[in-house]
Structure 1
């Protein structure tokens, strides 16, 4: 088999895991990673080594739940747990996801303005919102899945940008494998921010629901077996690994270029892109900016789709990206409302930075609870049958639960 054939075969085998991983590096996430690099140089590079396996373990559990039960995470919660738990998740998830969408739309608009200064950022925000709405509503699931997969290629720009600037390999390796922690409010806040933006609850809901969608599209919902589970695990591992490496290279870029130049305060993605221009050249600046737009086009459909899955599964409405608008009106109306509410944040006085802080707090509260529930579901033989968690998944899930609980407590201490 030729190399081209192998690449095509591999690309065809890649599924929801890649899109889920890529959506984790959304514009708001890029802002967090950029701030980590600018403020602390390479000191947070080691966090990628920690977060990749934790992300992969949690997303594998969510994917297993979707595959085995043929239901999303919300549907499984509704069926096997008390309603108050479900409604609390709904209460916290809704504003968090909408504010995340708003921050991403604002980031894309601002970067669009950087590339084309004569056009105001608000016009770009409106344009991107309309484009996304049209694509989500009018494209069938398979087209959306393929489009999102190809958009992931845009994120490869972040693997190029650091090498447009002179690097110290020894320093990079040291920072990657030897953790350095400062017990200051600023450093702990960045660690909490990194955890909050990488292990995000909306990804849990999306992963489970989109696995169901994928199986229904391929008519595999009656063929659950170890081979299918193994293929899912490989897909999720690849997607989370891809996500982690993008995070790594963003911190590497800002941690070498901006930190070395004495630029230590980056609050938005456009600030990061602008700061790179005089230091690393026009090409680095353009690639970084284009990457932000690409990640936003991936992340916003995932965010709005996750929210819509949560609501439609809660109330038993028709759902699915494979359905046409008239077949699942409620599903698509929720997506449209979430995008419009996110866009409206640009006009009601909530800044992207405020939105990110509020989102981090809400995610921080819900993530430990959800991880605990996911672990419980994944070890329940009545629900999962023979596909309960392995020891490795339980160990990683337990570590994630402890870390996210500590992060939630730290978040409360830092902001209150």
Structure 2
């Protein structure tokens, strides 16, 4: 067990000055309604600029025929995020640390390198999109705003504990519900929407397969899997009333129940917004061969925002970007430092975790270089989602091996149903990536 004191009496009475365990649990549950848990924050970060761009592309190019995918993905993404959270809460360590105990060093290093590459590209695409979104409103300063957002994000990560400023940033994600509002301001054939959701008309082409991989990759992203496990560990270490479940199994009913509803609600939020982004762009932009610029994507909000569509779109992109970039950089840092045995944690001061913050800085600064490439921000976002869809496959397979091993998870090996869903999700991701490569 880690060096954290154990404060709760397991007898009939609490220790003097310590609240009885049921009271502590009631207080903690109430507190969770006031602040997002790892699952809810992960769900909000899932609809990052890459997600907005990818879902917009799906709706514009394929119309309502891509709506089915969000219903299909909900149980799969929920299962994978639940497995991630379970590994963190049971073992008291993140994914990379657990993989390090099972797999050869070269394999873990390779997986972590893939994550770092994918996250760095995603960070760059997100920052570039944030700069382009700001330029939509102000008319200039794309590169300047990209650099400014990078500096702001990096400064917040280094100087302010993430749990403190995320309380404010998460409210910016409510802008995404504008996509829900649009569908009630335009005429929609809901019968046709339901029909296309249940029986999509899609030709099996390289373009279709690439879009499916992109949607899979932006919905079940490697960085979100690493992030939720590590945040469970950080939440555990910050709470003196809890410890890793493998050391104190009596806490399992409360903690595993919390993980379930926290994850289900967080993923439901993410998928609901994604569904309406696809639907909104399907009814407002369908017919566009491709969304090429931020201005094209912003047009989807014109029915509800009019001339303020660019401002509303920009606020959504910037808000979700400021929420997602720390998750991207942080998950890369968790993975690299766990695989090397270095000090980790966003609650640490920089001098206490030099390697951790160095990785965050490098990931962010290298990501800025994407803004100076020839790739349009919207296209960069889309292809970062495709890359995530490919890289997710080996990472998900490694996770499934970890959560299935009794020497790692003890009595908290994932249930047969959860393992079945996890392997099914991994197989679906692999099949989609393979089909894309064959058809392309």
Same fold (TM over 0.5): yes
**1:10-49 equivalences in 2 (<5 Å):** 11-12=33-34, 14-49=36-71
Q: 1:134 aligns with which of 145, 152, 155?
A: 155
After the TM superposition, which of the residue ranges 406-415 and 346-355 deviates more from structure 2?
346-355
Aligned-partner SS, 1:77: helix
> Per-residue deviation at 1:380?
1.2
Tell whether the 8 Å contact from 2:50 to 2:385 is kept in structure 1 after alignment. Answer: no
Q: Which residue of 2 aligns with 1:330?
A: 355
Structure 1 residues 142 and 363: CA distance shift in structure 2, 3 A: closer
> Per-residue deviation at 1:148?
4.2
> Per-residue deviation at 1:249?
0.7
Q: Which residue of 1 aligns with 2:436?
A: 411
Aligned-partner SS, 2:347: coil
After the TM superposition, which of the residue ranges 392-401 and 270-279 deviates more from structure 2?
270-279
Gaps of 5+ in 2: 1-28
After the TM superposition, which of the residue ranges 290-299 and 351-360 deviates more from structure 2?
351-360
Q: 1:88 aligns with which of 94, 110, 113?
A: 110
Aligned-partner SS, 1:164: coil
Q: Are 1:178 and 2:205 matched, yes or no?
A: no
Tell whether the 8 Å contact from 2:280 to 2:300 is kept in structure 1 after alignment. Answer: no
> Per-residue deviation at 1:51?
0.8
Gaps of 5+ in 1: 1-6
Aligned equivalents of 1:400 and 1:263: distance in 2? Answer: 31
Structure 1 residues 280 and 43: CA distance shift in structure 2, 3 A: farther
Q: Are 1:239 and 2:266 matched, yes or no?
A: yes
Q: Are 1:369 and 2:401 matched, yes or no?
A: no
The root-mean-square deviation of aligned C-alpha atoms, in Å, is: 2.2
Flag the structure with larger Rg: 2
Q: Which residue of 2 aligns with 1:344?
A: 369
Structure 1 residues 239 and 324: CA distance shift in structure 2, 3 A: same
Residue-by-residue CA offset, 1:140-193 (whole Å, 9 max, x unaligned): 243044234334333333322332322222222223333433222222221121
Tell whether the 8 Å contact from 1:368 to 1:401 is kept in structure 2 after alignment. Answer: yes
Tell whether the 8 Å contact from 2:334 to 2:356 is kept in structure 1 after alignment. Answer: yes
Residue-by-residue CA offset, 1:227-263 (whole Å, 9 max, x unaligned): 111101110111111111111010011000111xx43
Q: Which residue of 1 aligns with 2:292?
A: 267
After the TM superposition, which of the residue ranges 157-166 and 352-361 deviates more from structure 2?
352-361
Aligned equivalents of 1:282 and 1:388: distance in 2? Answer: 54
Aligned equivalents of 2:439 and 2:218: distance in 1? Answer: 17
TM-score normalised by structure 1 residue count:
0.91
> Per-residue deviation at 1:285?
4.4
Tell whether the 8 Å contact from 2:125 to 2:384 is kept in structure 1 after alignment. Answer: no
Tell whether the 8 Å contact from 1:31 to 1:267 is kept in structure 2 after alignment. Answer: no
Residue-by-residue CA offset, 1:52-75 (whole Å, 9 max, x unaligned): 110000000010000011000000
Structure 1 residues 285 and 175: CA distance shift in structure 2, 3 A: farther
Tell whether the 8 Å contact from 1:37 to 1:251 is kept in structure 2 after alignment. Answer: yes
> Per-residue deviation at 1:107?
0.7
> When the two structures are aligned, how many residues end up with a matched partner?
406
**1:98-117 equivalences in 2 (<5 Å):** 98-117=120-139
Tell whether the 8 Å contact from 1:78 to 1:86 is kept in structure 2 after alignment. Answer: yes
Aligned equivalents of 2:384 and 2:282: distance in 1? Answer: 24
**1:31-70 equivalences in 2 (<5 Å):** 31-70=53-92
Structure 1 residues 26 and 357: CA distance shift in structure 2, 3 A: closer
Residue-by-residue CA offset, 1:56-103 (whole Å, 9 max, x unaligned): 000000100000110000000111221121011122222211111111
Structure 1 residues 10 and 153: CA distance shift in structure 2, 3 A: farther
**1:69-84 equivalences in 2 (<5 Å):** 69-84=91-106
Aligned equivalents of 2:225 and 2:260: distance in 1? Answer: 15
**1:227-306 equivalences in 2 (<5 Å):** 227-259=254-286, 262-274=287-299, 276-277=301-302, 281-306=306-331
Aligned equivalents of 1:364 and 1:78: distance in 2? Answer: 23
Aligned equivalents of 1:85 and 1:68: distance in 2? Answer: 23
Q: Which residue of 2 aligns with 1:4?
A: none
Tell whether the 8 Å contact from 1:37 to 1:44 is kept in structure 2 after alignment. Answer: yes
